[in-house]
Structure formats: C-alpha cells, structure tokens
C-alpha cells in the first residue's frame, strides 16, 4: 500500500482542518499546475479526531473535507498519481463518516467500530428473518389443548418448508400472493401450526386428523374417520396440576390413526360437549384439526370458531421441543430456574 504524507495534504486544506484529521495511511503529495497530487493507488483514511469532518468516498470519489470544503478526485494517471479537484461544496460533505478507497481498510476507530457493530447486527437480523420465514420459526405453547403431547410452557421449532410457503409464512402475513408455492401436503397425524380461518392472524397448534374429502365424526368420545372408528386403548391416567396446585386427573388413551401414526389423547369428561358431533365432510383444499386434549380444545369440531382449515393457512409442522418450563419461576427469579425447567423435554422430537 502506498503511503501519503499527511502534512503535505494538510497544506492544501483550511488551517482549522489541520488539527482534526486522523490519518491511517501516509504517502507523498506532489504539486502540478497548482493542484495537489496524491501518489499511490490505494489509500485509506479514518474519521477526523474529536468531532471534525472526516474523509469519505462518495460515488467513487475520494473526498477530503471539513465543515465547508471537500476535495474530490480529478484524475488518476497510469503511475497512480491522483489529482485532487478544487474545494467542493455539496451534500457529500454533510454525509461524511469514514472512507474506503480502492478496497483499503482503515484501522479501527470509534466511528468505524460503531458502524461495524451496527452493520453486524443488521446482517444478523436479516439472517434471522430469512431463517424464520423459510426454515424454522420458534413458538411457545400458552394453552393445554394439546396435553399431553405439548404442555403449557413448551418451546418448539416449526419447520416452514414442510408444506411449502404461503403469505402466512412471512411475518404479519402480507397479502403478496395467494395459495401455496413449493407446496407439500400434511400427513394425517402431523402436529401443525396454522392461522385460524376466522381472522387469519391467530396461531393455533393442533393435530391433523382429517384430509380433504374425509368424513370426520366423534361418537361417544371415539374418533371416526370415513365411517370407521379409530383404534384406541386406555393406558392409564394423566395427572395435571393447575396454577393453584390442584391435581386434575384425565383418562389417557393411545390412539392409532389409519396410516399407523400413534399418539396419546386425554378424555377428561365422559359424555363431554364435543364427544358426540355431526359428521363433517372436509372440503377439498382444507384440513380437519383436533387437539389431543379432546375435552379442552377449540378446534375444527367448533365449526363456527375454527372449522375447516384452508391449506393456505398452514404455517408449518411442529418438529422439535427445545425448552420447557412449568411456569413456577418468573424471568428474574433465576434461582428458581433449575426447578422450573422440565429437563426431560429439552431437545425432544414431537410425535
């Protein structure tokens, strides 16, 4: 890297600027026809010291300035001699921060370090947004509709690419296009996050039990698909505690769907409100969702609340638990974190 003689450069700047420039490269300056010439094809400068105007490159021009005057490049010859123009007043002077000329990197300075940090944060946010929109998005479970598969306080990752992408794959569901692109279809038994058809904004998580064209019905607490009862077997009781510490008991079943997917369901109330329903015929391009906690789930059985879920509303497939807390410790009560954390639910696949 060629070096520049700072003192020679300062001879051509207003006197008040001479004590403000902080150089990181030195070289020599020659005078030709009354214009200063900087020798060297690669130079770098940093900010001026203590609040003075710095140097910058704007539109390919090397600008050296203070609050009133800026010098630009007039020409560069084959020997690397750079001819500066006369002082220039313009918007570049007001925007001056620090410069890079022909790829040269200035040494660290307070301004450049701050800018580098801001740039790093900005790029990190862009990468996080890209991953969230197209690969994995974190969710937490605020309700008990999927007990015992998912518990209140579970944190999980949802794969966005599993079923392709719709406008609901993006933050705030912008109305950029309709339908799905690179679409895939969920399998019966998948645990899915979707936007409710009612408002297109609220995230629900349920299990897919009905595919397009299926006939779904609950009869005496037993799920029927296309006229056939889904196999289930009682496996005991599930004990749950409410926020006040009261123990609740639920009958627990292992349910096997027609495609062989098995999962556990809870039956808390015999002859519950949703234990007997009409027969639902799932429209094309829609899915029927149910919670595993059958008596405590707002799902597709409530046709006026959730109903059939359009394929466009699918956000992604729940894949893996990465953290879980029982809620007994507030964020600032770090001494309670060990007892509040459900360690057996950290890094666990969702079935």
Walk me through the domains of the chain, giving residue ranges and CATH numbers. 6-111 (no CATH), 135-349 (2.10.109.10)
pLDDT digit string, tens, across residues 5-33: 444 444 444 444 433 333 323 333 333 33
Query: Is 37 designated active site?
Result: no
pLDDT digit string, tens, across residues 269-283: 888 889 999 999 999
Specify the pLDDT at position 85.
54
Residue 120, Ramachandran bin (φ over 0: left; ψ between -120 and 50: alpha; else beta): alpha
Query: Is 145 designated active site?
Result: yes
Mean pLDDT of all residues in 110-129: 77
Specify the pLDDT at position 40.
37
Q: Is the pLDDT of residue 175 over 50?
A: yes
Out of 44, 46, 145, 324, the active site residue is: 145
Q: Is the pLDDT of residue 226 over 80?
A: yes
What's the mean per-residue pLDDT of the chain?
75
Q: What angle do CA 282, 287, 291 make, to 5 degrees?
A: 110
Q: Are the C-beta atoms of residues 326 and 153 closer than 8 Å to each other? A: yes
Specify the pLDDT at position 155.
96
Stronger pLDDT, 244 or 322, i.e. the higher one: 322
Out of 46, 206, 300, 324, the active site residue is: 206
pLDDT digit string, tens, across residues 180-218: 888 789 999 999 999 999 888 899 999 999 999 999 999
Please state, as a whole number, how many other Cβ atoms lie within 10 Å of the Cβ of residue 294. 24
With b meaning 16 or more CB within 10 Å and e meaning fewer, what string describes 183-216? Answer: eeebebbbbbbbbbbeeeeeebbbbbbbbeebeb
pTM of the entire predicted model:
0.65
Among candidate residues 45, 26, 41, the one with its CA nearest the CA of residue 112: 45
| Token pair belonging to 154 | 């579970």
- What's the first-to-final CA gap in the chain, in angstroms? 61
Weakest mean pLDDT among 30-39, 120-129, 168-177, 340-349: 30-39
| Token pair belonging to 241 | 């505690």
Q: What is the 3-state secondary structure (H, E, C) of 222-290?
A: EEEECCEECEEEEEEEEEEECCCCCEEEEEEEEEECCCCCEEEEEECCCCCCCCCCCCEECCCCEEEEE
Quote the DSSP letter at residue 120.
H
Among candidate residues 116, 103, 109, 95, the one with its CA nearest the CA of residue 49: 109
């Amino acid at each position: 890297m060629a070096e520049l003689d700072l003192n020679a450069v300062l001879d051509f700047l207003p006197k008040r600027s001479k004590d403000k420039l902080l150089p990181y490269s030195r070289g020599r300056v020659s005078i030709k026809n009354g214009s200063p010439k900087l020798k060297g094809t690669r130079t770098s400068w940093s900010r001026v010291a203590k609040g003075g105007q710095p140097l910058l490159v704007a539109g390919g021009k090397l600008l050296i300035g203070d609050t009133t005057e800026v010098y630009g490049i007039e020409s560069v010859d084959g020997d690397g001699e750079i001819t500066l123009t006369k002082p220039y007043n313009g918007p570049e002077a007001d925007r001056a921060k620090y410069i890079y000329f022909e790829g040269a990197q200035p040494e660290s300075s307070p301004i450049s370090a701050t800018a580098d940090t801001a740039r790093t944060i900005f790029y990190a946010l862009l990468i996080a947004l890209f991953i969230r929109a197209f690969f994995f998005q974190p969710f937490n479970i605020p309700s008990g509709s999927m007990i015992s598969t998912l518990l209140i306080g579970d944190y999980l990752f949802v794969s966005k690419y599993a079923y392709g992408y719709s406008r609901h794959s993006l933050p705030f569901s912008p109305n950029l296009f309709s339908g799905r692109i690179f679409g895939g279809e969920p399998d019966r038994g998948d645990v899915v996050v979707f936007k409710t058809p009612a408002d297109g904004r609220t995230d629900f998580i349920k299990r897919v039990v009905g595919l397009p064209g299926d006939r779904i019905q609950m009869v005496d607490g037993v799920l029927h698909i296309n006229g056939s009862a889904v196999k289930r077997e009682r496996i005991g009781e599930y004990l749950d505690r409410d926020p006040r510490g009261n123990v609740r008991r639920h009958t627990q079943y292992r349910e096997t769907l027609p495609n062989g997917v098995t999962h556990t369901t809870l039956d808390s109330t015999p002859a519950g409100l949703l234990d007997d329903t009409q027969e639902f015929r799932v429209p094309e391009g829609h899915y029927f969702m149910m919670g595993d906690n059958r008596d405590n789930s707002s799902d597709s059985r409530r046709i006026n609340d959730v109903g059939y879920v359009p394929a466009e509303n699918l956000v992604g497939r729940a894949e893996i638990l990465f953290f879980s807390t029982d809620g007994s410790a507030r964020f600032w009560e770090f001494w309670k974190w060990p007892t509040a954390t459900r360690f057996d639910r950290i890094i666990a696949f969702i079935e």
